[in-house]
Amino acid sequence: KYSPNAIIIVVSNPLDVMTYQAHLTSGLPRTKVMGMAGILDTARYRAFLAEELNVSGKEIQAILMGGHGDTMVPLPRYTTVAGIPVTELVEKE
C-alpha cells in the first residue's frame, strides 16, 4: 500500500523458507522477493576466520562458491587477511 515499488531482499536462515514466506506474506510478485545467501555465508566465514586469527573481520577478503547450504564451499586460495593468503596463516585442517 505505502511502497508499491518495494523489493524485499531476505538475508536470514533458513533462507529458502524465509524468502518464500516473505513472498507469501507480502503478496509481492516472486520477481520482487529474493534471498541473498552468499553474503550471509561469506560474513560467517569471515567471522570464523577473524575469531581464529584474532583479527578484525574487516581485514579479511573472502569468497565462497556454490549454492546456499551443503554445496557452498570456501575458497581458501582466494582468501586473504590484510593481503596475506589465509593458507599461510592457518593449518589446512
Read off the pLDDT of residues 9-65 as tens digits, 9 standing for 90 and up.
998 888 889 999 999 999 999 999 999 877 878 888 999 999 999 999 999 999 888
pLDDT of residue 30: 92
pLDDT of residue 39: 80
pLDDT of residue 60: 96
Q: Read off the pTM.
A: 0.66
pLDDT of residue 31: 95
Active-site residue identified among 20, 40, 68, 72 = 68
Give yes or no: 68 in active site.
yes
C-alpha cell at 41: 555465508
Distances in Å between the Cα of 93 and the Cα atoms of 24, 78, 90 are 42, 17, 8
Q: Which of 40, 47, 48, 32 is nearest to 72 (CA)?
A: 40
